[in-house]
Structure 1
Amino acid sequence: MTNKTGKISMQQVHTQKKGKRLKNSRYITGFDGIRAIAVVGVIVYHLLPYKLQGGYLGVPIFFVVSGYLITDLLLQEWEQNGKIDFWGFYARRLKRLYPALVFMLVGTGTYITLFQRSLLTNLRSIITTNLLYLYNWWEIGHGQSYFDRFNGESPFTHLWSLSIEGQYYLIWPLILIAMVLIIRKRKTIAYLLFGLAVVSAVLMGVFYTGPDTLNRVYYGTDTRMFTIIFGALLAVIWPSTHLKKQVSTQSRWTLNTIGLLSFAAMVYMYFELAGQNTFTYRGGMFLMAVVSTALIAACAHPGADINRWLTNPVFSWIGTRSYGIYLYQFPVMIFYEMRIKDIAAHPMMHAVIEIGLIMIISELSYRYIEAPLRHYRYHNLGRSIYEFFQKDSIYGLKRLWMIPAILLIGISAYGSVISPTKDAKNGLQESILQNQTSASVQNKKALAKQKRAQRIAENKKRMAKLLNKKLTPRQYQTAKKYGLTKRQYLTVHQQPLTAIGDSIMADNSKDLQTVFKQAYVSAAVGRQIWQAGDVLTALKKKGELAPNVLINLGTNSPMTPAQIDKVVKAVGKGHRIFWVNCHVPTRNWETEVNQTIQGASKKYAHFYVIDWHGYSYNRPDWFWSDNVHPNPKGNIHYTQLVAKQISQHLKMK
């Protein structure tokens, strides 16, 4: 309650029994609709990132809703009671959030221990930091990029946001009451909150300097807090219990227009704002927080129609279960996709199956874990335990549920105990490491010879003379091994080549440099298209970018035409680009990535596609067990295809 001076009253105006609902408190059904929009965006993004590249922005929407609801309820409690029951608040939050989180951690840990031991690494630290709501900071130092969809994706990665919310629930009530006691004026508090939000957003922009700092800004509490602060700011200036239901027609449609425009802006950013875009971290997420706040403001006002428009049985069901849906999405997706080796053949069908599994598990969790434990009176725990062990217990056969529960906890605990802190290297990883080491040595030699080789390649007479030379016994054996004719081998043998790629090229680097003696190879596990520009620019500045550029990117994440345009621009004129399309049947973006690469070849005259996908189709004997990375036999065929394709385009007439 505020007095005429706009100050928050410190006088207790209502008495309230512990646990009784706050007087005049409103359940705003449209918020379930907003939660539904947020979680649907996140799910679709994770399943079909090519279709909804900005769906990850559902998380900031969740943050703004949480900031508004928690602050609004705390201020209502302060106004009615003149104080806030902190312990009661914390207890309610734990009862709401902890049961499903613990079940997800234990269930996922059990599955990993029994069926997916390749994911055991750091399980103990992951579970511990999640239970303490510190996982986002652990992710900054140990986790992978949120946008790396292939390289050892963790079923826990998405839990970073729950840690930020947990930290907010712990600290925010204390800060809020300190501001109420010291500042008291809502207007001044609002200005202070806006300033803090701006500082947080500025930190995100300043700390983001490229892909290497992405984890820091994406997972950091300080760089993400502005979204929650916006929600809190709205609660201070737009309290749900102070808004008038009766407003003029003009005011009603002003609110409706604001809500509709905000919704349209959110949808636009869902489709257009990629997580690798620099603008995302230097204004994009801030803008998303602003429009989310505007939509929530319109929805919260009883005089507008937005709340009614966002209220329906489907949104209500999804919204009330959005916490569970968010929790279980990654484990379901990752475990399912690890078992299905040909996701790319039917991406929509598999997406529907995964959504169905997520919804079923979320519904079971809501009915049998979240709802019962949320309303359980924990002060009766001792009595319940005593009753549980009685011969004629009222729990009857329900007690049998303790057997699988104990097994789950025991297996998960065992997995945590035996979990290594570093990944054990398998055959593929050992191969990549050895080939990368070999490539780094060969790179120095290649750079030293490239300028001379370039002069030879550009001189038709000297090149023709070179092609007429007889192969040495070693050259003959190499050409025979890789299935190349004399002309094909000699054409590429002395050609300067800069190769940029991910783990596919890292694994192939030794074979590539065996045939292309003047090849410089820059390949890294997990590399994605938005990281290529920096590598190319650095080589170009040093004059070390060869006239022929080979690129193998697209395995680890989807890509857009705009991202390929940036790579082409970074390469610049006077260079030929040979782009190897991707063979990644375990991911649903394979077809779209290859179509995007093919589209670029039609746009740029110096852009050529090497069709590794078509060449290796239905040849599982060419790949390691992941059906993505070529094995030693596959590397021979990969190199053969690259050499043949490049020699064809470089053929002297």
Structure 2
Amino acid sequence: MNRHRMRPRRYITGFDGIRTLAVIGVIVYHLMPASLQGGYLGVPIFFVVSGYLITDILLQDWLNYGHVRIGRFLGHRMRRLYPAFVTMLLGTTAYITLFQRSLLSNIRATVVTNLLYVYNWFEIGHGQSYFDRFNGESPFTHLWSLSIEGQYYLFWPLIIGLLMLIFKKRSRIFWFMLAMAGISAVAMALLYDPANTNRVYYGTDTRMFAILIGSGLAFVWPSRELSPDIGHSNQLTLDILGGVSLVVLIWMFFQMAGTSAFTYRGGMLLFTIVSAVLVATVAHPGSHMNRLLTNPVFTYIGQRSYGIYLYQFPVMIFYETKVKNIGDHPLVNSLIEVALILLVTELSYRFIEDPMRHYDYSRLWTDFTNFLRAPKFNRVTGTITGLTIILFVITAVGFVQQPSKSAATQKTDLQKTIDKNTKNASKKNAAALKRQKAAAKAAKIKTEQMKTKAALAKLSPKQKKVAKEYNLKPQVVLAMGTTDLTAIGDSVLLDVSPDLQDVIPGAVVQGKVGRQITDVPPIISSLKQQGQLAHNVLINIGTNGTITNGQAEQVVNMIGKDHQIFWVTAHVPTQSWQHQVNTQIKKTAANHPNVHVVDWYKKALNQSDWFASDNVHPNTAGNRKLTKLIANEIASVNN
């Protein structure tokens, strides 16, 4: 290629459209995961676009100057990314120092690893699952992807020079890049652990294939070498490929759940390849795809997509902490959150990102010394300087006040209760299994005894106490004494487990904090293989995330028609998926005669005195109310 024949670098406006689709997917997923369960896939789109554009720029450097101007490249990246990034870190840390100190745990390591762009590796060992949407989300969790991009920016200029020297031909480099991307995707598939996706979701090695595919594309599809003068058939081919890829991407946004094994065993790779096809067609000046994805709205959002991505999580988490009825009005609250994100992003773009990107940093020392000699402030510079100093001071306070490891690991009263209940449930489970075996033998005798009113009145002292404490009819208490039950659920089930096992001594509790619907099928399969799945099955899932129709059907079908299933509705007003989960539970019950709704949401509505401070986990009074509701429902079905 001859530098004199090269066209000047053009701004591909359609890439703003692609960025807009990506950031909308991420935002909608975080706000209403039930509406767009694959919205998290916006991140691979960002990776592909970034890989293509950065490699395209570096290749032009190589072809123009015979080497990559690493200093110039890194300087440009720092000016573009760091000002808003540092502002977000300082602002978020200052906020949690002032208003949400429970999030100060590991704050020093969080900020430092982010500044060094290694936060994704820190998250693997210290962060919660990206798909655990209830257990105290961190306002920094989403920054894992920026660390991977930062690592790419640092090392890629050196690697691209080596590749050009070793392989000479760009077509060979392209195939080498595809091979490396394949290895990365295979690593994701092999390291995938359904019990903990952190390693494959946050790992640089397992997520790099998206950037590698985008980078590889730039070697065989450089933007400056693509001619707008192509034949009609070629243009039609590009348009068809671009249109189909766009439709497929949107379809996968709706279909590909982040908790599905397919996602990590080829699904995300497939999505990335389709994304690369869209990028290639938009980059080509002979295609109409660039024009299709170019409009004022997409341009506006696309140019600010970095800031929108940066500020989304802090705004959402801080807002949702203060507003307790998110689940009651999910759409209204989502619109408010989007408006706040756009407002914060616009302020950042106008007063931080854009000015700092165009500032001549070679004048930094001169401007600083001149300012010291003759300080000059106007309203804008004075405000920014004052806020910056305040943020630094408050952040420093947060660093100093970070709780020690022992304090950070100190558990709340609710966590202690759940841990205690988990241990007690395990002890009682063994006794419950023995009871279940004996219950079948004693059932016939008990049935005859319960036929007479005299037998119904003959409660033991313990049963009389249970009937009084839980306000249950004697018939229900007697029936629960011979009922076998397998209870599968999350932390809410663990919270209620002591009461449940007092009223239903034959209940075996399988509870775990943070459990979601995708964790249930393996548990059912294991219990069935061991012959320990009771005739009555209680499902208390929905607190921590959405439930799709397919997931609900899978659970019901695995349990089987010969079992009675009692599904407790979710009371989680702080989350947007509350109504989606409850609607799905009722829909499943309507489709299966052996599925029965235990409507805890309806029963507990506006009963805040039944709950702990989070308005999700029942307190002593709430546990008794929930236990009574479950017992009455099981008794009404089995009698």
Normalising by the smaller structure, the TM-score range is over 0.9
Please name the residue that 2:58 is paired with.
Answer: 74
Give the CA deviation at 1:396.
7.8
Please name the residue that 1:6 is paired with.
Answer: none
Q: Is the 8 A contact 1:35 1:322 kept in 2?
A: yes
Cα distance in 2, alignment partners of residues 393 and 113 from structure 1: 31
Which residue of 93, 114, 117 maps to 2:77?
Answer: 93
Cα distance in 1, alignment partners of residues 443 and 11 from structure 2: 74
Which residue of 288, 298, 301 maps to 2:281?
Answer: 298
Which residue of 415, 419, 423 maps to 1:429?
Answer: 415
- Percent identical pairs in the alignment equals 51
2:318 matched to 1:335? yes
2:231 matched to 1:243? no
2:96 matched to 1:112? yes
Please name the residue that 2:301 is paired with.
Answer: 318
Please name the residue that 1:205 is paired with.
Answer: 189
SS at match of 2:543: coil
Q: Is the 8 A contact 1:492 1:643 kept in 2?
A: yes
SS at match of 1:608: strand
Q: Is the 8 A contact 1:456 1:463 kept in 2?
A: no
Please name the residue that 1:25 is paired with.
Answer: 9
Please name the residue that 1:404 is paired with.
Answer: 387
CA deviation map 1:625-651 (0-9, x unaligned): 111111111101010111111111111
Give the CA deviation at 1:446.
1.4
TM-score of the aligned structures, taking structure 2 as reference length: 0.96
Give the CA deviation at 1:462.
5.2
CA deviation map 1:555-579 (0-9, x unaligned): 1111101111121233234221111
CA deviation map 1:560-605 (0-9, x unaligned): 0111112123323422111101011111111111010001111112
Please name the residue that 1:166 is paired with.
Answer: 150
CA deviation map 1:330-371 (0-9, x unaligned): 111111111111112211111110000000100111111111
CA deviation map 1:166-187 (0-9, x unaligned): 1111111211111100111112
Within-5 A mapping of 1:137-286: 137-210=121-194, 212-286=195-269
CA deviation map 1:437-490 (0-9, x unaligned): 211221122123221123334667456379546112222011110110110011
Within-5 A mapping of 1:487-498: 487-498=475-486
2:519 matched to 1:513? no
CA deviation map 1:370-399 (0-9, x unaligned): 111112222221112212223353768723
Cα distance in 2, alignment partners of residues 163 and 465 from structure 1: 69
- The one-letter code of the counterpart of 1:474 is K
Cα distance in 2, alignment partners of residues 379 and 445 from structure 1: 75
Cα distance in 2, alignment partners of residues 328 and 454 from structure 1: 58
Within-5 A mapping of 1:568-583: 568-583=556-571
2:369 matched to 1:386? yes
Q: Is the 8 A contact 1:343 1:587 kept in 2?
A: yes
CA deviation map 1:478-507 (0-9, x unaligned): 111011011001111221111111111111
SS at match of 1:389: helix
Which residue of 554, 567, 571 maps to 1:566?
Answer: 554
Cα distance in 1, alignment partners of residues 617 and 518 from structure 2: 21
* CA distance 1:238–1:339, shift in 2 (3 Å): same
Cα distance in 1, alignment partners of residues 191 and 593 from structure 2: 38
SS at match of 1:213: coil
SS at match of 1:522: strand
Q: Is the 8 A contact 1:190 1:236 kept in 2?
A: yes
Give the CA deviation at 1:412.
1.4
2:12 matched to 1:46? no
SS at match of 1:345: coil
* CA distance 1:252–1:400, shift in 2 (3 Å): closer
Q: Is the 8 A contact 1:67 1:232 kept in 2?
A: yes
33-42 vs 565-574, which deviates more?
565-574
Cα distance in 2, alignment partners of residues 183 and 463 from structure 1: 87
Question: Any stretches of 5+ residues in structure 2 without a counterpart?
Answer: none
Please name the residue that 1:644 is paired with.
Answer: 632
2:115 matched to 1:131? yes
SS at match of 2:320: helix
Within-5 A mapping of 1:516-527: 516-527=504-515
TM-score of the aligned structures, taking structure 1 as reference length: 0.94
* CA distance 1:87–1:646, shift in 2 (3 Å): same
120-129 vs 463-472, which deviates more?
463-472
495-504 vs 63-72, which deviates more?
495-504
Cα distance in 1, alignment partners of residues 344 and 384 from structure 2: 17
Q: Is the 8 A contact 2:129 2:196 kept in 1?
A: no
Give the CA deviation at 1:615.
0.7
Which residue of 488, 512, 524 maps to 1:536?
Answer: 524
- The one-letter code of the counterpart of 1:427 is D
Give the CA deviation at 1:84.
0.8
SS at match of 2:117: coil
Q: Is the 8 A contact 2:552 2:588 kept in 1?
A: yes
- The one-letter code of the counterpart of 2:551 is Q
Q: Is the 8 A contact 1:457 1:463 kept in 2?
A: no
Which residue of 292, 304, 307 maps to 2:290?
Answer: 307
